[in-house]
Chains A and B, each alone.
Chain A
Protein backbone atom coordinates (compact mmCIF):
# COMPACT_ATOMS: atom_id res chain seq x y z
CA UNK A 1 0.00 0.00 0.00
CA UNK A 2 1.04 3.55 -0.67
CA UNK A 3 1.92 5.41 2.49
CA UNK A 4 1.93 9.19 2.65
CA UNK A 5 2.92 10.38 6.10
CA UNK A 6 2.33 13.83 7.50
CA UNK A 7 4.38 14.08 10.67
CA UNK A 8 2.29 16.75 12.41
CA UNK A 9 -1.42 16.07 12.76
CA UNK A 10 -2.39 19.04 14.94
CA UNK A 11 -0.52 22.32 15.28
CA UNK A 12 -1.29 25.62 16.96
CA UNK A 13 0.89 28.54 15.89
CA UNK A 14 0.93 32.26 16.53
CA UNK A 15 0.42 34.92 13.90
CA UNK A 16 3.71 35.77 12.24
CA UNK A 17 5.42 32.49 13.07
CA UNK A 18 7.19 30.45 10.39
CA UNK A 19 5.50 27.08 10.00
CA UNK A 20 6.82 23.91 8.40
CA UNK A 21 4.55 21.04 7.40
CA UNK A 22 6.42 17.89 6.47
CA UNK A 23 5.32 15.05 4.21
CA UNK A 24 7.03 11.79 3.29
CA UNK A 25 5.95 9.12 0.80
CA UNK A 26 7.38 5.64 0.54
CA UNK A 27 6.49 4.63 -3.01
CA UNK A 28 9.16 6.45 -5.02
CA UNK A 29 6.50 8.69 -6.55
CA UNK A 30 7.61 11.50 -8.82
CA UNK A 31 4.71 13.84 -8.12
CA UNK A 32 3.82 15.34 -4.76
CA UNK A 33 1.14 17.85 -3.84
CA UNK A 34 -0.05 20.14 -1.09
CA UNK A 35 -3.76 20.88 -0.86
CA UNK A 36 -5.76 22.97 1.52
CA UNK A 37 -9.25 21.84 2.60
CA UNK A 38 -11.88 24.26 3.87
CA UNK A 39 -15.59 23.61 4.48
CA UNK A 40 -17.70 24.43 1.44
CA UNK A 41 -14.64 24.98 -0.75
CA UNK A 42 -13.45 21.43 -1.22
CA UNK A 43 -9.75 20.89 -1.89
CA UNK A 44 -7.61 23.60 -3.42
CA UNK A 45 -4.13 22.99 -4.79
CA UNK A 46 -1.40 25.12 -3.24
CA UNK A 47 1.75 23.76 -4.90
CA UNK A 48 2.94 20.60 -6.56
CA UNK A 49 6.29 19.12 -7.43
CA UNK A 50 7.08 16.82 -10.33
CA UNK A 51 10.71 16.13 -9.43
CA UNK A 52 13.36 16.93 -6.87
CA UNK A 53 13.87 20.69 -6.62
CA UNK A 54 11.09 21.24 -9.18
CA UNK A 55 7.83 22.91 -8.22
CA UNK A 56 4.86 24.64 -9.73
CA UNK A 57 2.23 26.91 -8.29
CA UNK A 58 -1.26 25.62 -7.90
CA UNK A 59 -4.44 27.63 -7.55
CA UNK A 60 -3.70 29.36 -4.22
CA UNK A 61 0.08 29.70 -3.73
CA UNK A 62 0.04 33.12 -2.07
CA UNK A 63 1.53 33.05 1.42
CA UNK A 64 3.10 29.62 0.93
CA UNK A 65 6.34 28.15 -0.35
CA UNK A 66 7.54 24.57 -0.75
CA UNK A 67 10.74 22.59 -0.70
CA UNK A 68 11.61 19.25 -2.25
CA UNK A 69 15.24 18.37 -1.59
CA UNK A 70 14.68 14.61 -1.70
CA UNK A 71 12.28 12.61 -3.82
CA UNK A 72 10.37 11.20 -0.88
CA UNK A 73 9.93 14.44 1.05
CA UNK A 74 7.86 17.53 0.27
CA UNK A 75 7.57 20.39 2.73
CA UNK A 76 5.06 23.21 2.89
CA UNK A 77 6.27 26.45 4.44
CA UNK A 78 4.21 29.31 5.77
CA UNK A 79 6.73 32.15 5.97
CA UNK A 80 4.58 34.27 8.27
CA UNK A 81 1.44 32.52 9.42
CA UNK A 82 -1.82 34.42 9.41
CA UNK A 83 -5.21 33.56 10.87
CA UNK A 84 -6.70 33.04 7.39
CA UNK A 85 -4.30 30.13 6.96
CA UNK A 86 -6.08 28.18 9.67
CA UNK A 87 -7.11 25.08 7.78
CA UNK A 88 -6.63 21.38 7.11
CA UNK A 89 -3.59 20.73 4.92
CA UNK A 90 -3.36 17.55 2.89
CA UNK A 91 -0.24 16.14 1.29
CA UNK A 92 -0.57 13.73 -1.62
CA UNK A 93 1.55 11.85 -4.11
CA UNK A 94 1.27 9.86 -7.32
CA UNK A 95 3.68 7.99 -9.50
CA UNK A 96 3.76 10.21 -12.62
CA UNK A 97 1.78 13.01 -14.15
CA UNK A 98 -0.27 10.71 -16.36
CA UNK A 99 -3.84 11.91 -15.91
CA UNK A 100 -5.24 8.50 -15.05
CA UNK A 101 -2.86 7.81 -12.20
CA UNK A 102 -4.38 7.81 -8.75
CA UNK A 103 -3.39 10.45 -6.22
CA UNK A 104 -2.87 9.12 -2.68
CA UNK A 105 -3.36 11.31 0.37
CA UNK A 106 -1.85 11.57 3.80
CA UNK A 107 -3.91 11.83 6.98
CA UNK A 108 -3.88 15.62 7.03
CA UNK A 109 -2.46 18.32 9.26
CA UNK A 110 -4.83 20.58 11.17
CA UNK A 111 -3.25 24.00 11.56
CA UNK A 112 -4.71 26.66 13.82
CA UNK A 113 -3.15 30.13 13.71
CA UNK A 114 -4.02 32.31 16.69
Chain B
Protein backbone atom coordinates (compact mmCIF):
# COMPACT_ATOMS: atom_id res chain seq x y z
CA UNK B 1 0.00 0.00 0.00
CA UNK B 2 1.14 3.54 -0.64
CA UNK B 3 0.76 6.46 1.70
CA UNK B 4 1.65 10.11 2.11
CA UNK B 5 2.12 12.07 5.32
CA UNK B 6 2.03 15.82 5.67
CA UNK B 7 2.93 16.16 9.34
CA UNK B 8 1.97 19.81 9.74
CA UNK B 9 -1.62 20.95 9.42
CA UNK B 10 -0.48 24.57 9.26
CA UNK B 11 2.75 26.40 8.59
CA UNK B 12 3.19 30.08 9.38
CA UNK B 13 5.99 32.14 7.87
CA UNK B 14 6.79 35.82 7.51
CA UNK B 15 6.87 37.34 4.04
CA UNK B 16 10.38 37.31 2.62
CA UNK B 17 11.47 34.35 4.72
CA UNK B 18 12.11 30.90 3.25
CA UNK B 19 9.30 28.38 3.55
CA UNK B 20 9.21 24.60 3.76
CA UNK B 21 6.15 22.37 3.59
CA UNK B 22 6.97 18.80 4.56
CA UNK B 23 5.94 15.55 2.87
CA UNK B 24 7.02 11.98 3.49
CA UNK B 25 5.84 8.96 1.55
CA UNK B 26 5.75 5.19 1.47
CA UNK B 27 5.47 3.14 -1.74
CA UNK B 28 6.57 -0.15 -3.15
CA UNK B 29 8.86 0.54 -6.06
CA UNK B 30 10.02 3.82 -7.58
CA UNK B 31 7.93 6.79 -6.44
CA UNK B 32 6.40 9.50 -8.57
CA UNK B 33 5.71 12.56 -6.41
CA UNK B 34 3.54 15.61 -6.99
CA UNK B 35 2.75 18.91 -5.30
CA UNK B 36 -0.51 20.77 -5.82
CA UNK B 37 -1.78 24.09 -4.45
CA UNK B 38 -5.38 25.01 -3.70
CA UNK B 39 -6.57 28.58 -3.22
CA UNK B 40 -9.85 29.20 -1.35
CA UNK B 41 -12.90 27.84 -3.16
CA UNK B 42 -10.81 26.70 -6.11
CA UNK B 43 -9.62 23.40 -7.54
CA UNK B 44 -6.10 22.02 -7.24
CA UNK B 45 -3.37 23.53 -9.38
CA UNK B 46 -0.31 21.51 -10.35
CA UNK B 47 2.98 22.93 -9.02
CA UNK B 48 5.67 20.36 -9.79
CA UNK B 49 6.50 16.69 -9.92
CA UNK B 50 9.40 14.30 -9.49
CA UNK B 51 9.60 11.38 -11.91
CA UNK B 52 13.28 10.62 -12.22
CA UNK B 53 16.61 12.38 -12.58
CA UNK B 54 17.73 15.45 -10.65
CA UNK B 55 16.60 15.34 -7.03
CA UNK B 56 15.84 19.08 -7.04
CA UNK B 57 12.73 19.84 -9.03
CA UNK B 58 11.70 23.36 -9.97
CA UNK B 59 8.09 24.28 -10.54
CA UNK B 60 5.62 27.12 -10.89
CA UNK B 61 5.63 30.40 -8.94
CA UNK B 62 9.23 29.95 -7.74
CA UNK B 63 8.57 26.75 -5.83
CA UNK B 64 10.94 23.82 -5.76
CA UNK B 65 11.04 20.45 -4.07
CA UNK B 66 13.81 18.10 -3.10
CA UNK B 67 13.45 14.37 -3.47
CA UNK B 68 15.32 12.47 -0.76
CA UNK B 69 15.16 8.73 -1.29
CA UNK B 70 16.90 7.74 1.95
CA UNK B 71 14.52 9.84 4.04
CA UNK B 72 11.52 9.09 1.77
CA UNK B 73 10.73 12.79 1.69
CA UNK B 74 9.69 15.35 -0.89
CA UNK B 75 9.59 18.70 0.88
CA UNK B 76 8.29 21.78 -0.91
CA UNK B 77 10.40 24.91 -0.60
CA UNK B 78 10.55 28.52 -1.66
CA UNK B 79 13.44 30.88 -0.91
CA UNK B 80 11.29 33.94 -0.23
CA UNK B 81 7.63 33.62 0.71
CA UNK B 82 4.91 35.98 -0.53
CA UNK B 83 1.57 36.73 1.11
CA UNK B 84 -0.04 35.47 -2.10
CA UNK B 85 1.49 32.03 -1.45
CA UNK B 86 -1.00 31.55 1.39
CA UNK B 87 -3.02 28.50 0.37
CA UNK B 88 -3.56 24.79 1.01
CA UNK B 89 -0.80 22.54 -0.30
CA UNK B 90 -1.16 18.86 -1.14
CA UNK B 91 1.53 16.25 -1.69
CA UNK B 92 0.65 13.13 -3.71
CA UNK B 93 2.41 9.90 -4.58
CA UNK B 94 2.15 7.03 -6.98
CA UNK B 95 4.70 4.53 -8.25
CA UNK B 96 5.94 2.89 -11.42
CA UNK B 97 3.07 0.83 -12.74
CA UNK B 98 0.71 2.42 -10.24
CA UNK B 99 -1.59 3.54 -13.02
CA UNK B 100 -4.40 5.64 -11.61
CA UNK B 101 -3.64 5.04 -7.95
CA UNK B 102 -2.53 8.51 -6.87
CA UNK B 103 -2.65 8.94 -3.10
CA UNK B 104 -2.94 12.44 -1.60
CA UNK B 105 -1.86 13.74 1.76
CA UNK B 106 -4.28 15.55 4.03
CA UNK B 107 -2.92 18.96 3.11
CA UNK B 108 -0.92 21.71 4.82
CA UNK B 109 -2.31 25.22 5.21
CA UNK B 110 0.40 27.78 4.54
CA UNK B 111 -0.07 31.23 5.99
CA UNK B 112 2.35 33.97 4.98
CA UNK B 113 2.11 37.12 7.07
CA UNK B 114 3.49 40.60 6.57
Task: List residues of chain A with CB under 8 Å of any chain B CB.
Answer: 4, 6, 31, 33, 40-43, 45, 48, 50, 56, 90, 92, 97, 99-100, 102-108, 110
**Contact, CB under 8 Å: B43 / A107:** yes
Q: List 6 A-B contacts (CB under 8 A).
A: A45-B100, A99-B95, A105-B43, A105-B44, A105-B45, A107-B42
Quick one: which of B55-75 are within 8 Å of A by CB?
A: none
Using CB atoms, name the residue of chain A closest to B42.
A107
A110 to B42, CA, bound (A): 10
Q: Of B42, B98, B106, which contacts A99 at CB under 8 A?
A: B98
**Contact, CB under 8 Å: B43 / A108:** yes
Task: List residues of chain B with CB under 8 Å of any chain A CB.
Answer: 32, 34, 36, 41-46, 49, 51, 90, 94-100, 102, 104-107
**Contact, CB under 8 Å: A42 / B90:** yes
**Contact, CB under 8 Å: B43 / A99:** no
Task: Evaluate whether A99 and B99 lie within 8 angstroms (CB atoms) in the complex, with A40-B106, A41-B106, A43-B90 already known.
Answer: yes
**Contact, CB under 8 Å: B100 / A31:** yes
Task: Evaluate whether A42 and B99 lie within 8 angstroms (CB atoms) in the complex, with A104-B46, A105-B45 already known.
Answer: no
B51: chain A residues at CB < 8 Å are 100
B107: chain A residues at CB < 8 Å are 42
Of all A-B residue pairs in the complex, the 4 with the closest CB atoms, nearest first, are A105-B43, A42-B106, A43-B104, A100-B51
**Contact, CB under 8 Å: B49 / A100:** yes
Between B32, B51, B100, B105, the greatest number of chain A beta carbons within 10 A of the residue's beta carbon is seen for B100
